Amino acid sequence: MTLKNSFLASLKENNKRRIWLWIVSVFGFVLLFPSGILMLISQHTNRYDYFIESYGEALGARMLRESLIGEINHVLNVGNGSEIWLLVAGFAILSGVQGFSYLFNKRKIDFYMGMPVKRKKRFLVIWLNGVLVYAIPCLLGFIISLMIVAANGALTGEIMLGTWQSYGILFCLYLGVYHLVILAVMLTGNIIITGFAIGVLFLYECIVRLIIMGYMETFYKFYSYRGYSTNPILSPFAILFDYQNAYVNQKGNIWLTILYLLLFAAIAGLIAYFCYLKRPAEAAGKAIAFSGPKPVLKIMIAVPVALMAGLFAGEIVGYQPLYGKNNCGVMFFVMAVALIFTCCLMQVIYEFDIRGILHKKRHVVISAILVVVIFIVFKNDVFGFDRYIPNAEKVESAAICTPADSYIYYGNEFWDEEMNYISKEAYVEEFMYLSDIGAVNQLMKRSMELVEEYEDMNQLYEDEERQWRRVTVTYRMADKRKVFRELMVDLADKETIDLIDRIESSEEFIAGGIFGASDIPAKTIADESRTVQAYYGNGTYQIKIKREEAKELLALYREDVMNGGFLKYRENVPTGSLCLELEEKKSYYTTYNQAELLIYPFYDKCIAYLTEKGYYMPELIRPEDVEKIQVINEHYDLVEAARIQQEEATVPSAQEVIVKYSDKDINQDYRTIVDYENPEDIAAILEQLYSTEQIYATWHNEKQCDNNYNIKVYFTSDSGATAVENEGFGYYVFAQGEVPGFVEEDTVYVP
């Protein structure tokens, strides 16, 4: 009992010295936070008239309440992205520093050491007060906030549950930050250096990750940013952010999150407690409390600073070794200056004496050696990262993300059943599971062989005989790791094409890489709460089809798409497309999604269905719908030749053009415009025309448009064409090498 009374007395005595911290806590959590909730409710109440006018009495009131509940849920539930964690973290820093700041003052240390209180008990008293000064006011603030919400008729079971879950997570977050700050206090001897130490503990891992990513991107040809992040792992904030990201996708595990936060807090707290017990009394006023770690800390800070400075300098001077720009002199100079300055500055701080600049020169040498070694490791790929191809036996599955395959008017064709947007990379990573690892590895090996033929990436891009495209590969390893590689594949290389066709012909690739092959589109349009508009068109004409017909066509599309393959798509152009427009009202806003699923000539079931319904369009443009065709030849070769003539006196490759048109300049109009109204000419041109949606530059498309020609097709007033502009025409293109001979002759430039 005496011991208990003694502990409580110590607790009360310590609280008297921290009364201002209690005031700050009460102000922030009991007054400020509930006031914010009250203002939020008031703000929504002021919008009552707007909702009533927009949606009517009953619907408007219901939507206003739903909107209010959504906003309150966002503020009170940390999983929904509530920013209250900033207030909690800020107070944890304040509490941790204030509680143990007496360690920075020699007089206070002498005073406390003269008292008949054990060091362990003193630590426990200060630590516990630091926990209570947060936990009690924050609890009261949450209770008051819930009472305010309930009084305004917006309290739901979801809000109640989310609030208490948030309190638990935030309490564990507070402990993690609180203990990390206490550790910073134990390692330092004055408040200023403590501030720097807190910043280092919070940001060090982020900076190291940023440096690694920067140097990998600088030196590695097959580096992929996917799988790498500047977000730290050893941080309570990282654990919280991971939970928030998972919560959005309805995968957040609160108990696992709390466990991770408590584990982090426990480790940081034990280290801080150990440092407290070992901390010498004479450390007060010094920069670092322990002399042993000083050289290590100096080197650990100087090396990243120098490497980061090198990255910044390299970016400024354009150091890009992958592209033949090896001007690294300035980069090394800046790294050397940053390293020497950091080492000297830290030694001055250690000694609190400007003469420290001249001391401990060996630390500069050691740091410089480490910087050079790290630079060489990345530059020469010492560990073979850039050449690494996972062993097929150690890979469970793989996924390949190819460039965009289809044209979307707006939005994106990848979404989930709730109509939430999903990037193609994320979609493929989640749904594609390739088992033919051998083909993926062969593709990667072939890519490396072809890329290594060039001295730098500029030569690779300048080679007009190649067709380079970027492809991202994800390996799911047996040990649960993921390995990401970014390849440059040549679509003019037969071996590469055969490997891609082998991969893309597999059911696994189609099911996981082509959105229309999944059941998500069918499920989203089957939901009667959503408004669905469906159209079939070919780039010139468009027909609205019924919702049930769209469902039937989607089912056939899923069957036809399984017969696809890279070579099939390369050899064909789409004959039309199924366009889906979805609209869903959520609270007081509406979400829209739109996708265009291309239909190819070998989609037999789709074409048979469309033909049966009378929707299929065998012709891109019906000749009888055309009044005239205007062909404009831009003659970009002449424009380029004139530009070269202005820049250089003689250019052998352009001599013939320059001599013939030596009186022209770059501002000259080289266009030739010819109108065709003869039915035979029109019919001949229509046979060679494509819509811009059919042969624009994509991954699967082998045909490329001839950019020299712009074709305007003028339609009759009753044509029914939906591709016309205000002037009554639509734009079309010729494919390279498919321009009609008479058109070429008619549009020759005559000076």
Residue 468 included in any domain:
yes
Tell me the pLDDT band of 53, cut-offs 50, 70 and 90: low
Residue 268, H or E segment: helix 254-278
Are 149 and 159 spatial neighbours (Cβ–Cβ below 8 Å)?
A: yes
Q: What would the pLDDT profile of 527-556 be if each residue is shown by its tens digit?
A: 888 889 999 999 899 999 999 999 999 999
Residue 64 included in any domain:
yes
Per-residue pLDDT averaged across 47-51, rounded? 65
Instruction: Verify that 497 and 525 share a domain, yes or no.
Output: no
Q: Using CA atoms, how far apart are residues 222 and 385, in angstroms rounded to an integer?
A: 9
Residue 38 included in any domain:
yes
Are 311 and 215 spatial neighbours (Cβ–Cβ below 8 Å)?
A: yes
Instruction: Verify that 543 and 682 share a domain, yes or no.
Output: no
Instruction: Verify that 168 and 260 share a domain, yes or no.
Output: yes
Q: Is 704 exposed, middle or buried (0-12, 13-18, 19+ CB in 10 A)?
A: middle
Question: How, if at all, do strands 542-545 and 576-586 pair?
Answer: unpaired
DSSP character at residue 563? G
Structural domain harbouring 675: 623-635+671-746
Which of 263, 286, 309 is the endpoint of a domain? 286
Residue 454 included in any domain:
yes
Q: What is the 3-state secondary structure (H, E, C) of 48-105?
A: HHHHHHHHCHHHHHHHHHHHHHHHHHHHHCHHHCCCHHHHHHHHHHHHHHHHHHHHHC
Rounded to 5 degrees, what are φ and ψ at 675?
Answer: -100, 140
Q: Using CA atoms, how far apart are residues 337 and 345, in angstroms rounded to an integer?
A: 12
Instruction: Verify that 629 and 608 share a domain, yes or no.
Output: no
Q: What SS3 state is found at 224?
A: coil
Which is higher by pLDDT, 2 or 327? 327
Which of 476, 495, 510 is the endpoint of a domain? 510
Report how many domains make up the chain.
Answer: 4
Residue 360 included in any domain:
no
Q: What would the pLDDT profile of 614-637 be if each residue is shown by its tens digit?
A: 999 999 999 999 999 999 998 888
Q: What would the pLDDT profile of 463-495 be if each residue is shown by its tens digit?
A: 888 889 999 999 999 998 999 999 999 998 999
From the CA atom positions of the chain, what is the Rg in Å? 34
Q: What would the pLDDT profile of 17-43 be if each residue is shown by its tens digit?
A: 778 888 999 999 999 888 988 888 887
Q: What is the 3-state secondary structure (H, E, C) of 435-478?
A: CCHHHHHHHHHHHHHHHCCCCCHHHHHHCCCCCEEEEEEEEEEC
Q: What would the pLDDT profile of 347-376 be if each residue is shown by its tens digit?
A: 888 877 787 777 788 889 999 999 999 999
Vertex 163: Cα angle to 26 and 149 (nearest 5): 75
Q: What is the pLDDT of residue 232?
A: 77
Instruction: Verify that 592 and 543 share a domain, yes or no.
Output: yes
Q: What is the pLDDT of residue 190?
A: 84
Residue 606 included in any domain:
yes
Are 154 and 243 spatial neighbours (Cβ–Cβ below 8 Å)?
A: no
Instruction: Verify that 600 and 529 share a domain, yes or no.
Output: yes
Per-residue pLDDT averaged across 504-511, rounded? 93
Residue 320 included in any domain:
no
Q: What is the pLDDT of residue 74?
A: 81
Rounded to 5 degrees, what are φ and ψ at 520?
Answer: -65, -50
Q: Using CA atoms, how far apart are residues 93 and 644, in angstroms rounded to an integer?
A: 63
Q: What is the 3-state secondary structure (H, E, C) of 273-303?
A: HHHHHHCCHHHCCCCECCCCCHHHHHHHHHH
Q: What would the pLDDT profile of 225-253 be if each residue is shown by its tens digit?
A: 887 777 778 889 888 888 888 787 677 78
Per-residue pLDDT averaged across 403-425, rounded? 68
Which of 488, 510, 532 is the endpoint of a domain? 510
Q: Using CA atoms, how far apart are residues 183 and 181, in angstroms rounded to an integer?
A: 5
Instruction: Verify that 528 and 489 share a domain, yes or no.
Output: no
* pLDDT at residue 114 is higher than 70: no
Q: What would the pLDDT profile of 279-292 be if each residue is shown by its tens digit?
A: 887 777 787 878 88
Instruction: Verify that 20 and 137 share a domain, yes or no.
Output: yes
Residue 54 included in any domain:
yes
Which among 151, 338, 171, 352 is positioned nearest to 257, based on CA atoms?
171
Q: Minimum mean pLDDT among 116-120, 344-348, 702-706: which range?
A: 116-120
Q: What would the pLDDT profile of 167-218 be if each residue is shown by its tens digit?
A: 999 999 999 999 999 999 998 888 888 888 898 888 898 999 999 999 999 9
Q: Using CA atoms, how far apart are residues 311 and 308, in angstroms rounded to an integer?
A: 5
Instruction: Verify that 136 and 252 share a domain, yes or no.
Output: yes
Instruction: Verify that 557 and 577 share a domain, yes or no.
Output: yes
Q: What is the pLDDT of residue 623?
A: 93
Instruction: Verify that 116 and 22 share a domain, yes or no.
Output: yes
Instruction: Verify that 278 and 180 share a domain, yes or no.
Output: yes
